[in-house]
């Protein structure tokens, strides 16, 4: 087991996308906690006590790897980020909300969450959420059929629009069933990894 002298910085990185999530500090007690429990834990310099990340928010970080730098005075922790993200503001990362090229999927999902918490009059999203799973699934079936027709018509612009409509309705269904875009990305990476092709995934988590 590595011994830590004093308090050292820890860089937390998304294991799947490579995105830097946050910077925190670790001492021997927090390091021992992480080894034992498999979730990030830091030393809060302001409160002078251990801080189990996500203990209050529920956005825990499940540790995949822990690495020390060449001088043993900085830690790199790769994690599976759960919940809405790492930042206390609700953002995916403390260094900006971008989760990669397809961050718009996260933004649409966050807007669906906001509509659920703060309904708006004449909101189509609220209409779907109020109608429930049956209506949402019906719309997904309609959008899937329209996507197929656009593809058969060889109309690229129309096809892009139909795929975007289908993706939106799928995200509404995901929300109502408690599934996040990150769950889907993680599953795709998991399946791709099983095929032995992890090396083809770049820093954004793209194939």
Terminus-to-terminus CA distance in the chain, angstroms? 35
Whether residue 25 is found in the same domain as residue 55: yes
CATH of the domain at 33: 3.10.20.810
- Which ranges of the chain have pLDDT less than 50? 196-207
Residue 207 within a domain: no
Domains contained in the chain, number: 2
Give 103's DSSP letter.
Answer: H
Could you tell me the two tokens for 130?
A: 């109020």
Residue 141 within a domain: yes
Question: What residue numbers bound the domain in which 22 lies?
Answer: 8-81
Residue 87 within a domain: no
Tell me what pLDDT residue 95 has: 85
Tell me what pLDDT residue 170 has: 98
Domain C-terminal end among 46, 81, 116 = 81
Whether residue 60 is found in the same domain as residue 133: no
Q: How far is CA 49 from CA 34, 61, 100, 165, in A?
A: 15, 19, 34, 48
Q: How would you classify residue 58: left for phi > 0, otherwise alpha for psi between -120 and 50, otherwise beta?
A: left
Q: State whether the Cα torsion 157-159-160-162 is positive or negative.
A: positive
pTM (whole model) above 0.75: no
Domain C-terminal end among 81, 111, 130 = 81
Among 36, 65, 50, residue whose Cα is nearest residue 7:
50
Residue 206 within a domain: no
């Amino acid at each position: 087991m590595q011994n830590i002298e004093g308090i050292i910085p820890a860089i937390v990185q998304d294991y799947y996308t490579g995105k830097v999530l946050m910077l925190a500090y670790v001492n021997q007690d927090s390091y021992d906690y992480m080894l034992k429990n498999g979730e990030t834990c830091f030393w809060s310099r302001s409160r002078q006590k251990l801080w189990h990340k996500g203990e209050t928010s529920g956005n825990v970080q499940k540790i995949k790897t822990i690495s020390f730098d060449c001088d043993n005075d900085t830690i790199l922790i790769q994690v599976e980020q759960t919940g809405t993200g790492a930042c206390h503001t609700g953002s995916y990362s403390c260094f900006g909300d971008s989760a990669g090229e397809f961050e718009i999927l996260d933004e649409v999902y966050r807007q669906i969450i906001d509509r659920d918490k703060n309904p708006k009059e004449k909101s189509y999203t609220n209409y779907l959420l109020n109608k429930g799973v049956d209506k949402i699934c019906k719309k997904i079936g309609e959008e899937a059929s329209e996507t197929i027709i656009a593809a058969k018509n060889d109309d690229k612009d129309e096809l892009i629009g139909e795929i975007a409509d289908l993706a939106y309705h799928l995200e509404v269904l995901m929300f109502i069933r408690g599934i996040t875009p990150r769950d889907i990305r993680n599953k795709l990476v998991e399946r791709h990894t099983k095929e032995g092709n992890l090396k083809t995934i770049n820093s954004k988590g793209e194939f």
